[in-house]
Chains A and B, each alone.
Chain A
Amino acid sequence: MLVESPPSKSAAPVAATRPRNAARTAGLLAALGVLAAIAVASIAVGAKQMPLDQVWHGLFGYSGTPSDVVVRDLRVPRTLLGLMVGAALGLSGAVMQALTRNPLAEPGILGVNAGAAAAVVSAISFLGASSLTEYVWYAFAGAALVSVLVYVLGGSRAATPVRLALAGTAASFALVSYVNAVQLMDSKALDKLRFWTVGSLASATMDTAVRVAPFIAVGAVLALLLGRPLNAMAMGDDTARALGADLTRTRVTAMVAVTLLCGAATAACGPIVFIGLMIPHLVRVFTGPDMRWVLAYSAVLSPVLLLGADVLGRVVTRPAELQVGIVTALIGGPVFIVLVRRKRMAQL
């Protein structure tokens, strides 16, 4: 979807947009570099520190040594899951902000993650769901249901950014209280849920990663394909339709993408807040409003933040761990305040 303008001999003003695209491409490559470095750190850092040669050995020369096992069975799945979940959260945040023309839209703030979480908790507690394969479907259902509910509560077609955010926050609070209540009543489920509900990569297994991968892959492809129609829609519904954009198809595709991404991410790690809100905002400062770039950058930088927070969580309380959901909330709170105080936040 990323389009480099080919060289042309046209007027100077248009030529001036090309260096900007070159800068965006270079920035994206740099971001990929950072992501690779963080991924290696995520494999190397933990309760048991790994020198890089051991990381290498575990990845490419597996021979069953204890550190090979740690690398292959613990660190690699955790890192893969972090990459996928991070990208999922960033993409869904970027899509939702564009779709609702709402700078506050984020799967966390609009209650989508809480909806997925409530559905999964209910399934574990009341329906005896015990495997991730089951979680995923409940998570999708919960995410989709709450998206619709918040849209209706927020005023449907008359929805404004503020009303949607209020409806989403209210729904989030209610659902989180519900999740807490269920955990208190059901002490057996409590342990299983405790890490999950704060958002954690700690229990990641290769099995989890493999199972959520297809959902996140489909969601990510759909989200990345939405760049141009979302660009058209950013100029208002009439202008978008005048340009030949199909609003209904774009909205439906976007909701499917968001539900897949948030549902899969939440089923795998529990609700992780702030990444979907923060990253697209930070990205936009650099890329400008072109959604093709915003989506691409969000997909790369969100896992950087998620894995970074996860690595940080493993380091600060070593040998214990701080769940990544707590770390992102700790980082996210202050960043969110800075964002709110920025003058231009009011408009997308």
Chain B
Amino acid sequence: MQRLTAQNVTLAYEQRVIAENLSVEIPDHSFTVIVGPNACGKSTLLRALSRMLKPAAGQVLLDGQAIGSLPAKQVARTLGLLPQSSTAPDGITVADLVARGRYPHQGLLRQWSAQDERIVAESMASTGVAELADRAVDELSGGQRQRVWIAMALAQQTPLLLLDEPTTYLDIQHQLDVLDLCAELHEEQGRTLVAVLHDLNHAARYATHLIAMRGGTVVAEGPPAEVVTAELVERVFGLKCQVIDDPETGTPLVVPATRQARAKASAPAAAV
């Protein structure tokens, strides 16, 4: 059994049900990417996996135990989350912000130590923000800021790291930059990563395990090379396309059909 699983969960905000009877396993040591159209429940699933949302039914298990019943700090030492939005306190420096990632490792009797100091330095080094240590976070660019938040999550030193749309609001170069960083964390540090991404081609290129969702259910999952087909993309996103080999990496590359071809394809569907 994998460390992080969702078993028959029903996910809902107030009365609005997003997903019912959903089961997902996150393969250990994978870089799992969840994709799907807007409102398919992918971010909701990630929120449930990271215990931000309590399932209305079913449960999310971390190491075989219901995640909601475990002590908050204990979970925070195993599973980290980079939420869609975080607020940097006014005027905080990069080093101070990253140091806050040590929160779950501290307590009244367990104060700041040389080890904490070292881990903060390592986290900044591996995300390439060490030179920015004394800069104020609010002065940084969007790409740098995202790296700092990832550094903070790394300082938490969790074997599992969940990222909710980590590339949103970044330009293409910084998107790849963040994804490269995720790939490094996965390959070199052996962490299990779970990310929600919008860009199917990014997902296909970087993921080792893909979960495709639509309407609150998992439509397909597996290695991108097996999952990403023209038929699946049409089924999940309603998009007519060709899937070719990425000339750089050999991973699947989604090329949308022309406007005319897509209009023709969607016309009969709309009539139904």
Contacts and interface: CB of A to CB of B under 8 A. Distances in A.
Interface of A: 3-8, 10-11, 13-14, 16-17, 101, 225, 228, 231-232, 234-236, 238-239, 241-246, 284, 288-290, 344, 347-348
B106 A228 contact: yes
Contacts of A231: 89, 100, 103
B80 interface: yes
Contact of A10 (B51, B73, B114): B114
Contacts of B124: 11, 13-14
A245 B103 contact: yes
A234 B121 contact: no
B95 A16 contact: yes
B95 A236 contact: no
A232 B92 CA distance: 13
B232 interface: no
Chain B CB within 10 A, most for which of A13, A17, A241, A245: A13
Contacts of A17: 93, 95-96, 99, 133-134
A244 B83 contact: no
Contacts of A288: 91-93, 96
By secondary structure, the A interface counts as: loop
Contact of A244 (B72, B96, B120): B72
Contact of B118 (A7, A8, A232): A8
Nearest to A285: B91
Contact of B125 (A11, A236, A289): A11
A348 B81 CA distance: 23
A328 B104 CA distance: 41
B100 A236 contact: no
19 contacts: A8-B117, A11-B124, A11-B130, A13-B131, A16-B95, A17-B93, A17-B96, A228-B103, A238-B83, A238-B84, A239-B83, A239-B87, A242-B50, A242-B156, A246-B72, A289-B92, A289-B96, A290-B92, A347-B90
Contacts of A16: 95, 133-134
A202 B87 CA distance: 44
Given A17-B95, A244-B75, A236 B83 contact: yes
B86 A239 contact: yes
Contacts of B130: 11, 13
A344 B136 CA distance: 13
A14 B103 contact: no
Contacts of B258: none
B173 interface: no
Contact of B89 (A3, A235, A242, A244): A235
Contacts of B51: 241
Q: Which 5 residue pairs spanning A and B have beta carbons closest together?
A: A244-B76, A13-B133, A289-B89, A238-B83, A244-B73
A20 to B, nearest CB: 8
B99 to A, nearest CB: 8
Nearest to A246: B72
B104 A3 contact: no
B42 to A, nearest CB: 16
Contacts of A6: 112-114, 117
Nearest to A242: B81
Contacts of A10: 114, 117-118, 121
A225 B106 CA distance: 13
B148 to A, nearest CB: 11
A17 B80 CA distance: 25
Contacts of B81: 238-239, 242
A250 to B, nearest CB: 11
A216 to B, nearest CB: 21
Nearest to B106: A228
A235 B89 CA distance: 6
A339 to B, nearest CB: 13
Given A4-B112, A344-B91, 4 more contacts: A8-B114, A235-B87, A245-B72, A289-B92
B133 A243 contact: no
B85 interface: yes
A89 B88 CA distance: 26
A235 B101 CA distance: 11
B127 to A, nearest CB: 13
Interface string B128-141: 00110110000000
A345 to B, nearest CB: 9
Given A13-B130, A14-B95, A14-B120, A235 B88 contact: yes
Contacts of B260: none
Given A3-B111, A236-B86, A239-B86, A14 B76 contact: no
B77 interface: yes
A241 B117 contact: no
A234 B86 CA distance: 9
B117 A344 contact: no
